[in-house]
Amino acid sequence: MLNLLDGLFTLTFLQLEVAEELNPLMRVAYEHSPLAFMAIKVTIVSLGLTLLCLHRSMRLSQRAIQAGAALYVLIDVYHLAFLAHMCHRGIG
C-alpha cells in the first residue's frame, strides 16, 4: 500500500509538472505511459517483497522488510509535505 501511495503521488506530481522522475527506468516507463509507470513500479516492489516474505524466517529478510516499510513511510510523508506546501502556495 505504501508503494502504491508513493506511485500515485509521484504520478500526480509528474502530471502536474511540479516534479520529475529521477530514476532512469521509471522515467522511461512514464514517458511510455502512466499506466506502464504504475504497473512496473508496483510489480518490481511486489516481487521484491514477495521474495523477502518467502525468506522471512531469516533475520536479514525481516530487517529488509522493516527497512523498506520505514523508507516508504518517509517517502509518503515527504509527498504529503510537498502536497501541503503546494496547497499553501497555491501551486498546481
Q: How far is CA 51 from CA 43, 44, 48, 70, in A?
A: 12, 11, 5, 18
22 SS3 class: coil
44 CA to centre of own chain:
11
The domain spans of the chain are 2-89
pTM of the predicted protein model: 0.86
User: pLDDT for 58-90, tens place per residue?
Assistant: 999 999 999 999 999 999 999 999 999 999 887
